Amino acid sequence: MGRIITVCGMPASGKGVFAEALAARQIPVLSMGDMIRAEVNRLGLEESPGIFGETASELRSIHGEGVLASRLIPTADAVSATNPIVLIEGLRGVAELEIFRSHWQENLLVVAIKAAKENRYLRVQARGRAEDGNREDFEIRDAREIGWGLDNLINDADIIFDNDASPDTLQEIVTAWLESL
């Protein structure tokens, strides 16, 4: 079994840039956010800023806070059987981390990406994803994800990268870190 790295961070903190840096080194990336996007599509819902969070909250309400982690473990195990490192992008909740830690124990590494709130909001506005929306949507999303324990995950991560510079700077920092693994 390979090492599992999870990356967490508030919306637009740089998780995607982190994932791109690993993918560029042929490290497989599994996205928890993509799981929610797939669920929205499966349900035939119209994409909007609130629908992704509502869908994630509903899944957690019906199936438990760790539903995404439980669903992702078999795929991650299969991928890690042939890869020394696998990235799970988008860890959001304490329950998810507990499930991952219980399953992978010392093979799990938690990375957090931090960025100033205003920088994150400017990134949200620039990227224009369906789930992003306006300032109010941004604040609602932050509050929801903090409610899942994301702030605790970030503060308790094994490694924390600050990302208030350019995406290229974060890529360089992450690439150097990967070389040290």
What ranges do the domains of the chain cover?
A: 3-174
Alpha carbon distances (Å) from 19 to 8, 48, 172: 11, 24, 13
| Distance (Å, whole) CA 119 – CA 169 | 15
Phi–psi pair at 113, nearest 5 degrees: -115, 125
What pLDDT is attached to residue 129? 76
Which carries the bigger pLDDT value, residue 133 or residue 22?
22
User: With 90 as the cut, is the pLDDT of residue 10 above it?
Assistant: yes
Q: What is the pLDDT of residue 115?
A: 96
What is the distance between the alpha carbons of residues 156 and 94, in angstroms, rounded to a whole number? 11
**What does the block give as tokens for 55?**
């869908």
Digit-coded pLDDT (tens) for 112-160: 999 999 999 999 888 877 777 788 989 998 998 999 899 999 999 999 9
Q: Exposed (0-12), middle (13-18) or buried (19+): which is 46, by Cβ within 10 Å?
A: exposed
**Has residue 91 got a pLDDT over 80?**
yes
Is the per-residue pLDDT at 89 higher than 90?
A: yes
For the chain, give the mean pLDDT.
Answer: 92
pLDDT per position as a tens digit, 44-76: 998 887 898 889 989 999 999 999 999 999 999
Environment class of 15 (CB within 10 Å of its CB; exposed 0-12, middle 13-18, buried 19+): buried
Residue 33 token pair? 């956010």
Fold of 3-174: Rossmann fold (3.40.50)
What secondary structure does DSSP assign to 83-126, as a single string? -SEEEEEEE--HHHHHHHHHHHGGGEEEEEEE--HHHHHHHHHH
CA-angle at 5, arms to 80 and 126, nearest 5°: 120
The full length of the chain comes to: 181
Q: What percent of the chain has pLDDT over 90?
A: 76
Which DSSP letter does residue 5 get?
E
